[in-house]
Structure 1
Amino acid sequence: MTAGGFLDDFATLSTFGATERGGVHREAASAADEAQRNWFARRLGDLGFTVRYDRVGNQFGLRETVPDAPYVLVGSHLDSQPYGGRYDGAYGVLAAAHAVHRAAGTDGLRYNLAVVNWFNEEGSRFTPSMFGSAVFTGALDLHAALDTRDPAGVRVGDRLEAMGHIGTDAPELAGVAAYAEIHIEQGRVLEETGTAIGLVVDTWAARKYDLRVLGDQSHTGPTPMADRQDALLGAAHLVVTARELSDELSTPETPLHTSVSRMAVEPNSPVTVAREVTLNLDLRSPDEDLLARADAVLHERIPAIERAARVGVEVAGSHRWGVRPFPAAGVELARRAADDLGLSHRPVSTVAGHDSVNLNGHVPTVMLFVPSVAGISHNEGELTHDDDALAGVELLTAVVRRLAAGEPAG
C-alpha cells in the first residue's frame, strides 16, 4: 500500500460526519459512526482482513497466518467528540490497518495480526470514556455497558443490535500477545521541539467525578434572593473552584489540570431557578501526591459551596487511575525502530486517556504519538501534517513487524 493509499483512505474516512469547518461529528453508534464502520469493514475486506465484532461492538480486522497463535493487536477508535477533529482516534485506526497490511507479508512472524476499532472511546454519547476497551479488559461489566443509555434514552445494546455490530467470535484478551497504538499528540511538545515521534513512557494520573448539585425549583422573578436554592449557582462555584485548584497548586514542574464539562441543568427553563445540575469534574496531574492534595482540597471546599448556594452536592460516580508507566521494553523497541527509519523521537507522557491505558498492564503495550499542529484537539481545527502522519504509519509498521516477530515489549 502506498503513501497515497493511506492519504486517500484518510480523505474518504474524513467525509463521514464531515462538518462545514473541516472537522467531523460522529459520536459512537450515530448514523455517521455506523456509516464509517461499515465503510471500514468493506475496506478491511478489500485488503484481505476477516472482519469480526465482539459483544460490545469492538470492530476487528484479522490477518491469521500462524495457526493457533495469539494476536498482536493494533488500533484506536473511529468515534469523535461532537464537532471534533478528523485525526483524534481515526488516524490511529487507519494507520493500524495500513501497518498491519504491510507487516502481514513479512517472513518469520510468530504471531497473528489484528486491527481494532474500539467502540465509544470518546464517551461523549455513552459514558464512561474508553468504553469498548474497558469491557475488553474487564474494567467495565459487559451487561452494565450494554444497558448504558445516552441522554435521549437510547440503549447501547439496542443500537449495536440495530447496526448489526455485535458478535461473539472476535479475539479476547487472553489471545492478545501485545498491543500497539499510534495517536496524535494533542499537545505541542513534538511540534515545538521539531520531533517526529513521541515515545509514550507513561500516562498522567486522573480523578474524575460525576457530581450532582441539588437545589429547589423556584421563580427567577419574585423569589427573594435569600430564599433561593439555586443548583446552577452551586455548580458555578464548583467550576470556579476547579480552576482555583489549578491556579493555586500547579507549578511548572508539577502541573495540575482541572476542568468542568458536560453540565445538564434541570428544568433548564428561562424563568426557573435550577433545581438540579449534573456535571463532570476532572483532575489530572503527573504527580500523584499533588493530585491527592487537590482532591482533598476540593472535598474540603464543597461544604462551603453548599452553604453559600444553599444546595447539596453529591458524588454520583467516580473514576480514577494513577500514573501508569508503559513497559520500558516497548519504549526501547519503538526507539530502535525509529532510529532505523531515521525518525527523531523523544520520551513523552500522555495527559489524555487512550485505549492503550486500558490495555497497558494486561499485555505488553506500545504507545506512539505524532505531532499535532498547535496542540489543538477535540476541535474542528485539529491538524497533523501529511508528512508527520505518513512517518507515523512507517514507524507503526516497523513496530508491528518487531512485535509480530516476537521481539519483547514488556
Structure 2
Amino acid sequence: MKLTDEQFLADFAEMSVCGATPGGGVDRQAATPEDHKTRAWFSGWLARHGFTESVDAIGNQFGMCELLPGRPWVLVGSHLDSQPLAGRYDGAYGVLAGAYAATRVLDQITDQTLNPQFNVAVVNWFNEEGSRFAPSLMGSSVFTGKLPLEKALATRDHVGVTVAEALGGGTVAHGPAPTLSEVAHYAEIHIEQGRVLEDSGINIGLVDRTWAASKYRVRVVGSQSHTGSTRMEDRQDALYGASLIITAVRELTEEFEPGRLHSSVSELYVLPNSPVTVAREVTMNVDLRSPDEAVLARAVEMLAVRVAECEARSRTRVLVEPTHSWGLLAYPPAGVALARSAARELGLSYTEVMTVAGHDSTNLKDVVPTVMLFVPSVAGISHNEMELTRDGDALRGVRLLTEVLGRLVSGNPA
C-alpha cells in the first residue's frame, strides 16, 4: 500500500512523542535514552517498510534497499537528535521526509515508471547537534573522513561519559553499512530555521551556499575570592570579565549593516559556581557568522581588540582558542539546477538561499554531489519548543524531495 500524506503527518506526530516536552517540543540529545527511543522507533518504521537496517561504528543509522548489487548508493536523510528543549522539526522532519521519499521512489520502481541506476538508503546521522558531545555534525564528519572515528568515540560529555559508552546498548548493526566510496549522491531537506521563505511567501529554498563562520572557545581566568569581604579593587572576577566579553560580542553586530553579522555567546561554565565566591574561571563559546567573508574578517579583528580591553578592565586573563572556521562554501551547482528543475516540474515557487546554520549536507557536499532543500519555518523560530513548519509546507517538501530523489536514483537530472 502506497504511503499517503496523511500517513506522513501521523507518523511524524507519533515519532514526536519520543522525548516529548511539556512545551510541545522534544529533548533527545545524542545517545540519551530519549534519542535511543527515537532511533528504535525509526528502526521499527524501516523494518515495516521493507528496508534493511545497518548502523556504522559512529552510530549513523541506515535504512537500505539494495536494488542493484554492487552499484553505488544514493543517500537521503538528516538527523533525529535535538538540542535541549528543542523543536520537533529540526532534523527529524528531514529523516522522515527522506524515508517517505525513498519509499515512494521504490513504489515507482515497482510500478516500472522509474528505472534505477543506483541503490537507495535513508540515513539518520548521529549527533548532528553537538549539544551533548562536541563537535556537532559528528556522524557525518566521521563518515566523510573529516573526524577520526577513535577521536569521536573517545569524546566525553560534561559528566565524563564517552560517545562509545553512550552508544552502547542502542541500535544494533545488521550487516554492513554504506561507506563514502560507495555513495554516488546525497540529498537532504530541512526546515529553514529562518524566515526568508515565510516572509516572501515562497514554497522552497534551494540552498546554494553557506555563510562564513568563525567559532572560538574562550576561557576567562581570574582569582577565586569571597563575594562579601574581598575589596572591589582586589577582585579578579572571571564572571565580570566574561560579561564584558559577552556584551562586546553582541555589540560587534552594530558596527555593520543589519544582517551582515550574527554573533553569539553560548554554553557558559562558571567555576566554582558558588553563591558566595567570586568566579575564578569562566569558559564559553563565541560564534561569529556572516554572508560576507570581508565582514567576518573585520569582525574577527575587532573582537581581538575588544577582548584585550575586557581583559584589562576586569583584571583577568583571557585565552581564545579557535575551534571551527569556514568561508562561503558553495553547494554543487548541478544539484541546485536539478532541484530548480524539479520544483518547476511540480509547480512550486522557489528561490536560492544561503544556509546560516550548519547541516550534515555541509560535510557531504565537499565529497559527493549533494542537493540541499529548505521548507519554511514559522517566524523563523528554531532550537525552541515553539518551532513549527505548517503541514502544507512539510508535505510540499516531501513531494519535491521525492522528485529530486527519483531523478538521482534514475541518473536522470533533467
Establish whether TM, by shorter chain, passes 0.5. yes
- Note if 1:394 corresponds to 2:399: yes
- Percent identity, aligned pairs only, is 59
Between the aligned partners of 1:347 and 1:316, the Cα distance in structure 2 is: 34
- The equivalent of 1:289 in structure 2 is 294
Between the aligned partners of 1:234 and 1:377, the Cα distance in structure 2 is: 30
How far residue 303 of structure 1 moved from its aligned partner, in angstroms, is 1.8
* 8 A Cα contact 2:18 2:34, kept in partner: yes
- The equivalent of 1:91 in structure 2 is 93
Equivalent residues in 2 for 1:70-85 (5 A)?
70-85=72-87
- The equivalent of 1:280 in structure 2 is 285
Match of 1:320 among 325, 333, 352: 325
Between the aligned partners of 1:32 and 1:205, the Cα distance in structure 2 is: 33
| Aligned partner of residue 169 in structure 2, secondary structure | helix
- Note if 1:365 corresponds to 2:365: no
- The equivalent of 1:146 in structure 2 is 153
Between the aligned partners of 2:175 and 2:118, the Cα distance in structure 1 is: 21
1:253-293 per-position Cα deviation (integer Å, ceiling 9, x unaligned): x6100000010101100000001111000000011111111
1:26-59 per-position Cα deviation (integer Å, ceiling 9, x unaligned): 1111111000101101100111111001110010
Between the aligned partners of 2:345 and 2:354, the Cα distance in structure 1 is: 23
How far residue 407 of structure 1 moved from its aligned partner, in angstroms, is 3.1
- Note if 1:31 corresponds to 2:37: no
Could you say if the C-alpha distance between residues 407 and 237 of structure 1 is closer, same or farther in structure 2, counting changes exceeding 3 Å? farther
* 8 A Cα contact 1:160 1:166, kept in partner: no
* Runs (4+) off by over 3 Å: 164-168
- Note if 1:5 corresponds to 2:7: yes
Between the aligned partners of 2:302 and 2:205, the Cα distance in structure 1 is: 34
Query: Given the two structures, how large is their TM-score scaled by the length of structure 1?
Result: 0.97
* 8 A Cα contact 1:54 1:167, kept in partner: no
Match of 1:235 among 238, 242, 245: 242
* 8 A Cα contact 2:214 2:322, kept in partner: no
| Aligned partner of residue 45 in structure 1, secondary structure | helix
Between the aligned partners of 1:26 and 1:373, the Cα distance in structure 2 is: 22
Query: Given the two structures, how large is their TM-score scaled by the length of structure 2?
Result: 0.96
Aligned AA for 2:11?
Answer: D
| Aligned partner of residue 325 in structure 1, secondary structure | coil
Between the aligned partners of 1:291 and 1:234, the Cα distance in structure 2 is: 24
- The equivalent of 2:272 in structure 1 is 267
- The equivalent of 1:171 in structure 2 is 178
- The equivalent of 1:341 in structure 2 is 346
- Note if 1:251 corresponds to 2:253: no
Structure 2: 5+ residue stretches without partners: none
| Aligned partner of residue 313 in structure 1, secondary structure | strand
Match of 1:385 among 381, 390, 399: 390
1:188-225 per-position Cα deviation (integer Å, ceiling 9, x unaligned): 11111111111111110111111111111100000011
Aligned AA for 1:50?
Answer: T
- The equivalent of 1:406 in structure 2 is 411
* 8 A Cα contact 1:56 1:166, kept in partner: no
Between the aligned partners of 1:113 and 1:166, the Cα distance in structure 2 is: 18
How far residue 168 of structure 1 moved from its aligned partner, in angstroms, is 7.6
| Aligned partner of residue 264 in structure 2, secondary structure | strand
How far residue 330 of structure 1 moved from its aligned partner, in angstroms, is 0.7
* 8 A Cα contact 1:54 1:168, kept in partner: no
Could you say if the C-alpha distance between residues 165 and 121 of structure 1 is closer, same or farther in structure 2, counting changes exceeding 3 Å? farther
Query: May I ask how many residue pairs the two structures share in their alignment?
Result: 407
Structure 1: 5+ residue stretches without partners: none
- The equivalent of 2:143 in structure 1 is 136
1:130-158 per-position Cα deviation (integer Å, ceiling 9, x unaligned): 11111111111111100111111111001
Could you say if the C-alpha distance between residues 235 and 168 of structure 1 is closer, same or farther in structure 2, counting changes exceeding 3 Å? farther
Between the aligned partners of 1:395 and 1:281, the Cα distance in structure 2 is: 36
